[in-house]
Chain A
Amino acid sequence: MVSSKEEAITRCAKYLEDMGATTSQYLGGMLERESIISSYLGKKVAIPHGTDPARAFVKFGQLIFMRLKEEILWDDEPVALVIAIAAKGEEQVDVLGNLAECILDDDTYKILMESPDAHEILAVINDRKGLEP
């Protein structure tokens, strides 16, 4: 169980490190960034990531998609979905752009927040299903 923002960030940082995407120092960058501005995005979504200098601790770009069984408070805002970001350069830009649209669109938002099917979630994130004009 994840019960706080710090715990959620620590868990994500651990996943990133275990996958080989970052070094252990990236966690410090993520916490520092939160102390400057909260990474709460809106609609119960937070997107924790490191500071600009913390890019030095990223070996390759990676996103972590972590949906919580129970909402936690993220600087007084309820959060149910945590998308942690590690990026060296601009490799995350397209997928984050898709994600912004998926979160703003009610149909895809529901899939992100509720679907039990990881493949369906990935398809939405990668394809922006149904969102192209």
Chain B
Amino acid sequence: MASVSAADVKKVVVACEAGMGSSVMVAKALAKQLKELGIEVTHSPVNRLAASGADLVLCHRSLSGRAKQAVPDLVVIPFDMFLGDLAIASVVEALLSGGNIADS
């Protein structure tokens, strides 16, 4: 388990298998929501996560094991739906309101 304080999150990375489609779309939607906080949102293939400079990682549940392996010290939040997922909405909420964000 890892945790991070919302105030320390400057870069969120959305990871997917290829970093070509799904993660791009999630990242773009998220970037808009987090723009006012000055948080950068990018996308990455899961196997290049270590070099991504992320403070917080979001990825599809089926890849969260691989993501955690790639960046064991970072908070990795899994989601199930690419659009409109509640886990993503609650991360946005936590970043907006401050406090700690942890994975399990």
Contact = CB atoms under 8 A, between A and B. Distances in A.
A54 B82 contact: no
A23 to B, nearest CB: 16
Given A41-B25, A96-B28, A100-B25, A33 B18 contact: yes
Nearest to A32: B17
A118 to B, nearest CB: 22
Nearest to A63: B21
A82 B60 CA distance: 20
A41 B82 contact: yes
Interface in B71-93: 81-84
Contacts of A47: 21-22, 25
Contacts, number: 74
Nearest to B82: A41
A96 B60 CA distance: 18
B22 A55 contact: no
B24 interface: yes
Chain B binding surface, main DSSP class: mixed
B24 A93 contact: yes
**In which size bucket is the chain B interface?**
20 to 34
A36 B47 CA distance: 14
Contacts of B63: 36-37
B24 A41 contact: no
Contact of B45 (A37, A52, A99, A100): A52
B29 interface: yes
Contacts of B25: 41, 47, 96-97, 99-100
B20 A50 contact: yes
A42 B17 contact: no
Contacts of B17: 33, 36-37, 51-52
Interface string A38-71: 0111110001111110110000000000000000
A125 interface: no
27 contacts: A33-B17, A33-B18, A36-B62, A37-B22, A37-B60, A39-B21, A40-B82, A41-B22, A41-B25, A42-B84, A43-B83, A47-B21, A49-B18, A51-B18, A55-B18, A85-B20, A92-B20, A92-B24, A93-B28, A97-B24, A97-B25, A97-B28, A100-B29, A100-B83, A101-B29, A104-B83, A104-B84
